[in-house]
Structure 1
């Protein structure tokens, strides 16, 4: 599958512009676009992504129905290939394929990286995504990490061609302390598939 070519930096949407005019924020918005919105990753953005251990992502199908999801891994599990391209591995999950399925219909994708522990700042990366096999991507990017999740084999990679990247300000980002040797499941906690269902343990709820 050929990788999708770079597309021009997007202009603000009509909705953005109309609401800015209505709320009287057009001048501030223009200043933000001019100073903060980048058509390529800066070196500082690339370094920031390389040390992140989690990312929030958004996709939508052709009907505009949205899905928000989360990915995590060791630092650098989202790989910066160059200043226009990122990739992260997809592993075997629950089989629903919500995010990947949306990408096959609608390539528009947003990533949000947030540093909760050190600099308390975030980075938005929006672009056009596609599914690429491990073999295909390694043929193009031979330096792709092979052991980003020890013991797990990537079923495919999400390859993102960047259209814009910009800061998410530090206001209201909470400080979180990484846990040392965290327990995956508290005693009495229901299994993931039962956590939000009627089968959830009432005894566990009473402990909360």
Structure 2
């Protein structure tokens, strides 16, 4: 048995008579390692959701995306992904610096499948993987604590139309998001922000 449940979980399990079911699921599907089938699933996806928390218990949830395989499974306990330029707020990454706790949700909408991975994350600015991710600011490594498949019954079936043009590519300048060219933010941009490069393509989305 893992320690995935706390008093709040148990209170609701008892109220709805699901404690036995919850314990059975914990025994049957919750693990602390990434199986080969989990690795195949994770490494073919192009997005995931990540939840983090700060020292005050304030939660943040974010969407991360890249090319298929941008999340790498390094071994049975560890995965890694790049952190690219965003809006400069560093809400998720700042939380990781403080508490290291993350919850990751991987969803394949087309095949209606999902899995969760909870664990402890760290940021690495000189990680060997940096060379493999153009324009990455640093690499996030996650040590898995709980890994488990999730019931897919409520996943809407959707198909990919187009991947974001903002995902960095090797030897291809990344476009500048239109909001960074607004007068309201011009004097607040970092000195090395690509928005200062007048040769960069500007697109709104």
TM-score range, shorter chain: 0.7 to 0.9
- Establish whether residue 66 from structure 1 lines up as the match of residue 59 from structure 2: yes
- Counterpart of 1:171 (choices 153, 157, 160) is 153
Q: CA deviation at 1:147?
A: 4.1
Q: CA deviation at 1:85?
A: 0.5
The 3-state SS of whatever aligns with 1:89 is strand
CA distance in structure 2 between the partners assigned to 1:9 and 1:131 by the alignment: 26
Which residue of structure 1 aligns with residue 121 of structure 2?
129
Q: TM-score, normalised by structure 2?
A: 0.76
- Establish whether residue 29 from structure 1 lines up as the match of residue 22 from structure 2: yes
The 3-state SS of whatever aligns with 2:123 is strand
**Alpha-carbon displacement from aligned partner over 1:65-84 (angstroms, at most 9, x marks no partner):** 01000001111101101110
Which residue of structure 1 aligns with residue 184 of structure 2?
none
Specify every segment of 5 or more residues in structure 1 that has no aligned partner in the other structure, as ranges: 1-7, 139-143, 185-190, 194-208
Give yes or no for contact 1:10–1:163 (8 Å, CA) kept in 2.
no
CA distance in structure 2 between the partners assigned to 1:122 and 1:39 by the alignment: 17
Specify every segment of 5 or more residues in structure 2 that has no aligned partner in the other structure, as ranges: 167-177, 181-205
The 3-state SS of whatever aligns with 1:75 is coil
Call closer, same or farther: CA 1:12–1:95 in 2, change over 3 Å: same
- Establish whether residue 159 from structure 1 lines up as the match of residue 141 from structure 2: yes
* 4+ aligned runs moved over 6 Å, structure 1: 181-184
Q: CA deviation at 1:9?
A: 5.1
The 3-state SS of whatever aligns with 1:179 is coil
Give yes or no for contact 1:9–1:163 (8 Å, CA) kept in 2.
no
Give yes or no for contact 2:116–2:149 (8 Å, CA) kept in 1.
yes
**Alpha-carbon displacement from aligned partner over 1:137-187 (angstroms, at most 9, x marks no partner):** 21xxxxx47444xxx311111111100011111111111112157899xxx
Call closer, same or farther: CA 1:88–1:181 in 2, change over 3 Å: closer
Which residue of structure 2 aligns with residue 200 of structure 1?
none
Q: CA deviation at 1:192?
A: 5.8
Which residue of structure 1 aligns with residue 202 of structure 2?
none
Asked which structure has the greater RCO (Cα within 8 Å, sep 6+), the reply is 1
Which residue of structure 2 aligns with residue 15 of structure 1?
8
Q: TM-score, normalised by structure 1?
A: 0.75
How many residues in Structure 1 have an aligned counterpart in Structure 2?
A: 170
